[in-house]
Each structure stands twice: as C-alpha cells, then as structure tokens.
Structure 1
Amino acid sequence: MILHPVRAMGQEAVPLHVIDDAHPQPEALQEAAAAQRFARAAGDYYPGLRAPAPVGYAGWLAEAARAIGAAKTSTVLRTTFAIATDAPAALAPIQRIPHFDTVDPTLLAAVHYLCAPPHGGTSFYRHRGTGYERIDPSRAAAWRQGLTRDRQRHGLPEPQYPGDHTAGFERIGQADLRFNRLIFYPANCLHAGDLAAAALGADAAHGRLTLTSLLQA
C-alpha cells in the first residue's frame, strides 16, 4: 500500500484519504467482477449496475480503513461492484448534480477503482447557494431550499454528468482515477463521479468498474 497525505478539501476541511496499490490481488477482483451478473438496484440513484462484492472483501476493507486511520473501529455496512452505464440523456435531474450518500456524519464512503483512464475519478463540491460541502441533519432543510432556489435561478440541470460546468456548484477537490486506487471520504460530503469521459457500458473488463462501499467509522 502507498498511503498519500490526507487532503483537507474546501472551507470545511473535508478529509480525503487516498491509497495506491491498495489491494494485493486487484486482478482477482476484476476476475470476480467478470464472473458476476450485474443488475440495477431498486431505488438506487447510481447511474449504472451493481453486483455483490467478493467474499472477504468487506473484512479487508474494514482493516484497511483502520490501518490508515480513516476509521477507528470500522464496520462495512454495504459493499458492491459498480459499473457506470447510463448515457447523459438518460439521467434524472437529481443525477446531474453532486450528491451525498447519507446525512449521518459518522459514516464513511469508499471507492476502489478497478479500471484505468480515460475513465475518471471522483470530484468533491461546495454548493454555492448555501456554502455547504457536507450535509448533516441540521442542514437538510436548508439544502432542499437551496436546490429549489437553484432551479428557479438556473432551471433544471442539463442532461450531463456533474462537473465544473454544473450551475450552483464549485469543485473543491478531486481524486484522479488510477487502477487499484482506494479512496475514503465522509459519506455526507457533496461529490460525484467524473463520468463525462468514461466509456459507459456493462462490460466489466472495459467499463468504469469500481467497488463502492459504506462504512460505520
């Protein structure tokens, strides 16, 4: 493992942990993905398909989070393979802006990249109208009101993946994609996959394949 210094992003110092050469057998993870049957999860806003993570991966991930200090006593709540497939024209309006996974400030998100460029990594954002970079329960109502004002001011977002062009948002940091790179960040921070240049498709061998996880820190 190659552990990079923790990045403190934006005005709220959102922490980003980046590990390169993270897993000892990343090709085995790719092979496990190729053997899976991917499907769309009901009620999931992820713009693509998911499949179960390999047996043992959750335990390895929890140990990695503890080892780098991202979490003291981590429990993996959810972990799946994910592959981005949806064309920009198919995105719902909520998928065209940065999002957060939960308002719970104690949860940690992880993305493990199992593909290579030109697929993109993950970017992190500030909402200009509220100044928020993280959304907790005390901010949820103001966040929704801020999105309403954005729609009144800018209209619905264009049918494209989030980026620097997204009205109402400012990028505060970015994790570039690299094969076998693992990142951890607070699950309630505003973020989005850098999917504009991704080769979208359901082929795990050539698509934007990741393992995405949610942990109790």
Structure 2
Amino acid sequence: MIRILIVDDQPMIRVGIRAILESDDDMTVVGEAADGRAGVELYRRTLPDLILMDVRMPVLDGLAATEAVLGPDRVEGHPPRVLMLTTFDLDDYIYAALRAGASGFLLKDSDPEELLHAVRVVAGGEALLSPSVTRRLIENFVSAQPHPDTTSTVLNALTDREREVLRLIALGMTNTEIAASLFIAEQTTKTHVSRVLQKLGLRDRVQAVVLGYETGLVTVGHR
C-alpha cells in the first residue's frame, strides 16, 4: 500500500486528487495540508511514502517544504519521495525542487491515469522524467545561469565509461537506450547507473540530469 500526503492550497485540487488516488486499491491518502508548513508537520506525524507537493503556496512554498522534509526536518529511516505539482511547465521553483531532492513533477492538468502512473513510478524509487517537459525546464533554467564549469572536479570520481553513462542519462535516455547506445547488456547498464549515483551522492536520475547540465557534461541544445 502506497501511503500518500497531499499538500496543496486549493481544496478542490486536494479533493480531486484524493478521489483519483483512492480509486486505486494500492493507494491511500494519509493526510492533506493547505500550505508547506502544515505539510512538513503532517509529514512528521504520518510518515507517508510519498508527498504530492504543490509549488506555489502561502506560509511556506513547495520548494522550502521539500527542502525541509528531505533535509533538516527529515525523519531518520523514513525519507519521503516528493512529487511536485504545478500548473506551470517551465518554473524555476521546480528546477530548484529537483536540486533539493524531489523525484519529479507533474502538471495539475494531467490525466488521472498519468497521476496514478507518476505515483507508482516515484513511490517505487524511480524518478519521473518527462523527456520533453523536464528536460526543457532544466535547459531553460541553465541557459539563464553563468556558463557551467566544464573543468569541475566533481566528475573526477567517475571512470570514462561511467562519465559516458551519466551523459546519456542527462540526455534523457532509459537504461535500455543506454545499453543499445553503448553496446552493453542492460544489467551492466544498471550497474553503471547505480555506481554513478553512489559515487556522486545523487538521490536519483533527476539529480543526475541536473548535474549533467550544471557541470557542462551536456549543454543546452545538445541532442
């Protein structure tokens, strides 16, 4: 059973999301909060598996709340997965939330099936990477920042093959696509991906994509 906390300042949105989630036998909503501060407090009381977090809220916005539940207010042994909700598909707050450790984001006008799929993917430990929207979001943010440091030493811990795997992750490739591109077995690819994340201290593939752009391993417009 996937235990979910909904944090959104719009009552109608919360009601609609709850109805969709609880139509699935494998999901249950353990609480609702109307702002980020209340969401952080409720997380500590209910210890959900996943938090559906709105971006723009009063009192404490979704970015600050995400940073809190994945950082200083984290309950040891109960790290939540955070899936951001937004009405904007290009929002700097979302980019910052991904850097803070959120596992992806979903537009509020997504179909119910997309919501259920997103919850399953993120609760299962994967990152929700939309090849078009997430990548466009990251490119939009990075293009407005100072030129990335291509000499960054953060990647020095990686072998040449691991660096190439990171580059392909940052391009949005799945493990199957990476395996085909490098002419290696998919299981070998999974091993490489795991080592990359471990060596760089990354939570998931979303943060790997962000790092790929920030270090200049992948540049804006690179395909």
TM range (shorter): under 0.3
Task: Indicate the structure with greater strand content.
Answer: 1
More helix by share: 2
TM-score by length of 1: 0.27
Larger Rg over CA atoms: 2
Which structure is higher in RCO with an 8 Å CA cutoff and minimum separation 6? 1
